[in-house]
Chains A and B, each alone.
Chain A
Amino acid sequence: MASTSNNDAVGMPQLDFSTFPNQIFWLVVFCVILFAIVKLFIIPRMEDIFANRRKIIDGNIAKAEEIRIRISEIEKQIEEEIGKAKAQCDDIMNTSANNVKEQMSIALEDSKTATSQLINEAQGRLEELKDGSEAAIKKISEELANEIISKISRGK
């Protein structure tokens, strides 16, 4: 039989009941050691790895959420800034347009007064010239008359 280190299996060695106590003894020893390994090493380690992974995934999700919120904040800020810039731009445009208008009106006023002055001056000169010419005509005609008179009187 198999129990006595004989190499020939008679039938099925599985049914050699004389080996059962030995098999069961070693199986129990094996099971106890294996269960201890599972309980003390494998499960804590696997659960630790799993918990760590869970933690990191949750952390990443939380971080992503945080970043999303910050992005929307930044977007809001950008919009605000754009609005402000637009307002500023309008302001600058308005003031510069006003300035130009003012300056233009001032220049217009100036030119108006200048032209009226020039016209006055020119009128004055014209008057003067008119007066002058009348006097000159008078003088010339007097001189002419005198000359004529003297010529006539000499000829006689």
Chain B
Amino acid sequence: MEKQSAFNIYPMDQFIIEPILMGENLEWYSFTNQALWMLISLAAISFVFIYGSRKHQLVPGRLQSVAELMYFFIRDMIIDIAGQEGLRYFPYIFTLFILILFGNVLGLLPYSFTYTSHIAVTGFLALSVFIAVTLIGFLKNGFGFLSLFWISSAPLALRPILLIIEVISYFVRPVSHSIRLAGNMMAGHAVIKVFAGFAGALGLGAIAPIFAITAVYGLEMLVVVIQAYVFTILTCVYLNDALHPGH
């Protein structure tokens, strides 16, 4: 990034995965900047959830109430959407939520790396959700799970057409699920980088670009939380489809 000069803006450079620590070549096991930020995210999660609530306070302090807020937010969300049965899958969904949330939020720090901006990561998560939900659907309901695609409340003539639409939309789920998150993360960071490039080029007179960076940064603060929420709530919706396909 030191190579930048004048109007040479490389907004996508921040997403390059580079091996650090072990050699120059990227092998499948190389410790990369992405892995480093996953580690930092682990540390941050441990800090908030383990250090923050170490005292088991009855009336929570600042960190503990943050932890409780997230915990019970997801817990209530699962109960609201997927019902009491959904609580069995709470540990998985909660893991997913804090993984994405902390990745998104830490990605907003200058010089950080946003692992959730990579389609490989979000794609893997979305595919895991897709496969898990499909398996749960078949294990819980047997072939009754297929009634998800046969809309019994629609007129009989429309049902074959709806079947095709439903099947397609079902298989598009992991794609939209993953691209929505990665795309949002990538776009926001790239926009900030572009404005930062303008600011760098304009030097001391860069009032407008810095104002724009501030505005976009504020928007991104909102977006990163919302996207983590959206990913989680969609997971809950898919889980609900698997648990109660009749609806």
Q: How far is the CB of A122 from chain B (nearest CB, A)?
A: 99
Report the Cα distance A33→B39, complex, angstroms. 10
B98:A5 contact, CB within 8 angstroms: no
Cα A11 to Cα B16 in complex, Å, equals 11
Check if A26 sits within 8 Å of B38, measured CB to CB.
yes
Determine if A152 is an interface residue (Cβ-Cβ < 8 Å): no
Stretch at the interface among B49-57, B136-144, B208-216: B49-57
Contact of A33 among B28, B42, B115 (CB under 8 A): B42
> Are A21 and B68 touching (Cβ within 8 A)?
no
Interface check B232, CB cutoff 8 A: no
Chain B interface (Cβ within 8 Å of chain A)?
A: 1, 3, 10, 12-13, 15-19, 24-32, 34-35, 38-39, 41-42, 45-46, 49-50, 53, 56-58, 60, 64, 67-68, 71-72, 90-92, 94-95, 98-99, 115, 117-121, 124-125, 182, 186
Chain B residues near A22: list those with CB within 8 A. Answer: 17, 26-30, 32, 34
A83 at interface by CB-CB < 8 Å: no
Pick 24 A–B contacts, CB within 8 A, sort by A.
A2-B16, A7-B1, A8-B13, A9-B13, A9-B16, A12-B186, A13-B12, A22-B29, A23-B118, A24-B121, A26-B35, A27-B115, A30-B35, A34-B42, A35-B91, A35-B95, A37-B45, A37-B49, A43-B94, A45-B49, A45-B56, A46-B53, A46-B71, A49-B64
In the complex where A42-B71, A46-B71, A52-B58 touch, is A19 in contact with B13 (Cβ < 8 A)? no
Residues of A contacting B42 in the complex (Cβ-Cβ under 8 angstroms): 30, 33-34, 37
* Most B Cβ at <10 Å: residue of A2, A4, A42: A42
Whether A38 touches B91, Cβ cut-off 8 Å, given contacts A13-B12, A24-B124, A48-B56, is yes
The residue that A14 contacts in the complex, of B24, B50, B91, B117, with Cβ under 8 A, is B117
Asked whether A37 lies within 8 Å of B56 as measured between CB atoms, the reply is no
Q: Which 4 A-B pairs have the closest CB atoms?
A: A21-B28, A9-B12, A26-B35, A30-B38
Q: From A19, A29, A33, give the contact of B26 (CB < 8 A).
A: A19
Contact of A13 among B17, B38, B68, B115 (CB under 8 A): B17
Q: What's the least CB distance linking A137 to chain B, in Å?
A: 120
